Amino acid sequence: MTTIHDPAVRGFASDNYSGVHPEVLAAIAAANDGHQVAYGEDVYTRRLQEVFVGHLGEGVEAFPVFNGTGANVVGLQSMLPRWGAVVTATTAHINVDEGGAPERVAGIKLLTVPTDDGKLTPELIDREAWGWGDEHRAQPLVVSLTQTTELGTLYTPDEIRAIADHIHPLGMRLHLDGARIANAAAALDLPLRAFTRDAGVDVLSFGGTKNGAMIGEAVVVLDPAASEGLPFLRKLNMQLSSKMRFVSAQLIALLEGDLWLQNARHSNAMAQRLRAGVEAGIADGSITGVSFTQPTQANGVFAVLPEGVADRLRERFRFYDWDEKRREVRWMCSFDTTEHDVDAFVAAVAELT
């Protein structure tokens, strides 16, 4: 097949727009020859278990799935009875970007809490964590956090631990949506375990697609008591890959060494470069009317642009509106974003403002 797209086209819309890291592609090819048992009984999926144990400790179990929505649906469903509900931020991906799958497919009631920075606190959780035993109310039994959040902000280990310590005595479990968990690990400069298992997280959705994988996420059960029926639910929700070795091989390629961190550190650094470039333009007057709405803690930059600038800028670089009413946009950097990409984008912002 000949290439039918223009590889020179770059964008800042999503880290899903990037290609597949060459080492991940090589891992898929290396896993390709010969026959392996289907549906996860292959040597690559067994090896992936060992890799996750190395990061998170003995007793964890990983269930590879196709995508992040599938990971969240399957993981949350395994944590709840039919009458259970999940407390989460209003901005959470499970609430606004998964087509209603947690509610329509998993049958889970979402109890959402508004936040200014995408982060929950024990006090915010308490707004919806009530009514246990009331048959007229869906029972709040899980809290779902996103790391990093949809607003590009980070939870520290202490913040996650404070939430876990608050909700566990209430009989609630803690789920972490880690679609961009590598970016969090890179920004925090901490081992994966430090802000997941050691901080009280019970079930983790581990993301790979936004960090160099082709197709590959995993539901990782950190506390077996918090999850049941996951093998059956994965099949029921159409997330059981017959040729699972190719999903597992991608995650091994990322996690067996430090490729996952290399990729995330680079995308975080490019976001910092983008923000610094715009801030420098604001300081010297070459960029006007631009402001930021969130701290840039990982690989996302959130900004407000002057009227009409976003549409003209999008003629050159694809990105998304975040809050159209206040002209807020989101700029995302990827593992393959280059300094030249960033500098060209900042120059275009300066030209159009």
pLDDT for position 8: 87
State the pLDDT at residue 57. Answer: 98
pLDDT of 86 > 90? The answer is yes
- Would 9 be classed as within a structural domain? no
Domain annotation covers residue 237: yes
What whole-number distance in Å separates Cα of residue 345 and Cα of residue 352? 11
Residue 326: per-residue pLDDT: 95
Q: Within a domain: residue 6? A: no
Provide the pLDDT for residue 124. Answer: 98
Residues 288 and 239 in one domain: no
Q: Measure the CA–CA gap between 31 and 261, rounded to whole angstroms.
A: 23
pLDDT digits (tens, 9 = 90+) for 201-246: 999 999 999 999 999 999 999 999 999 999 999 999 999 999 999 9
CATH of the domain at 266: 3.90.1150.10
- Whether the CB-CB separation of 300 and 271 falls below 8 Å is answered with yes
Statement: residue 300 has pLDDT above 90: yes
Judging by beta carbons within 10 Å of its beta carbon (0-12, 13-18, 19+), is residue 286 exposed, middle or buried? middle
Three-state DSSP at 346 gives helix
Q: What average pLDDT does range 275-300 have in this prediction? A: 98
CA distance 171 to 156: 23
Same domain, 182 and 210: yes
pLDDT bracket for residue 282 (50, 70, 90) = very high
Q: For residue 94, what pLDDT band results from cuts at 50, 70 and 90?
A: very high
Please tell me whether residues 158 and 280 are part of one structural domain: no
Check pLDDT > 90 for residue 43.
yes
The answer to whether residue 1 scores a pLDDT higher than 90 is no
- Please choose, from the candidates 293, 347, 285, the residue with its C-alpha nearest in 3D space to the C-alpha of residue 325: 293
In a domain, 320, yes or no: yes
Mean residue pLDDT across the chain: 97
% of residues, the chain, pLDDT over 70:
100
Token pair recorded at residue 36 = 């392996």
Amino acid code (one letter) for 214? M
Residue 305 has pLDDT above 90, yes or no: yes
Could you say which of 204, 234, 257 is where a domain stops? 257
- Kindly list the distances between the CA atom of residue 182 and the CA atoms of 31, 47, 107, 273, 313, in Å, as whole numbers in the listed order: 24, 20, 29, 19, 29
8 occurs within a structural domain: no
Residue 162 structural domain: 22-257
Flag whether 236 is in a domain. yes
The answer to whether residues 314 and 252 belong to one domain is no
pTM exceeds 0.85, yes or no? yes
SS (H, E, C) 122-148: HHHHCCCCCCCCCCCCCEEEEEEEECC
Is residue 65 one of the residues assigned to a domain? yes
CB-CB contact of 218 with 209 (8 Å):
no
Q: Which of 257, 292, 326 is the last residue of a domain?
A: 257
Q: Is there a single domain that holds both residue 28 and residue 112?
A: yes
What is the predicted pLDDT for the residue at 270? 98
**Residue 15 falls within a domain, yes or no?**
no
Residues 266 and 246 in one domain: no
Residue where a domain stops, chosen among 207, 223, 257: 257
User: Based on the domain organization, do 234 and 315 belong to the same domain?
Assistant: no
- Residue 301 predicted with pLDDT over 90: yes
Domain count within the chain: 2
- Please check whether residues 77 and 213 belong to one and the same domain: yes
> Same domain, yes or no, for 241 and 284?
no
List pLDDT tens digits, range 143-188: 999 999 999 999 999 999 999 999 999 999 999 999 999 999 999 9
- One domain for residues 47 and 162: yes
- Mean pLDDT computed over 12-25: 97
State the pLDDT at residue 289. 97
Residue 136 sits in the same domain as residue 180: yes
* In the predicted structure, residue 312 carries a pLDDT above the cut 90: yes
Are residues 97 and 245 located together in one domain of the fold?
A: yes
Please report, for the domain that includes residue 232, its CATH number.
3.40.640.10
Yes or no: say if 219 and 75 are a contact pair by the CB < 8 Å rule. Answer: yes
What are the E-state strand segments in the chain? 61-65, 84-89, 109-113, 139-146, 173-178, 203-207, 217-221, 291-292, 300-304, 320-323, 328-332
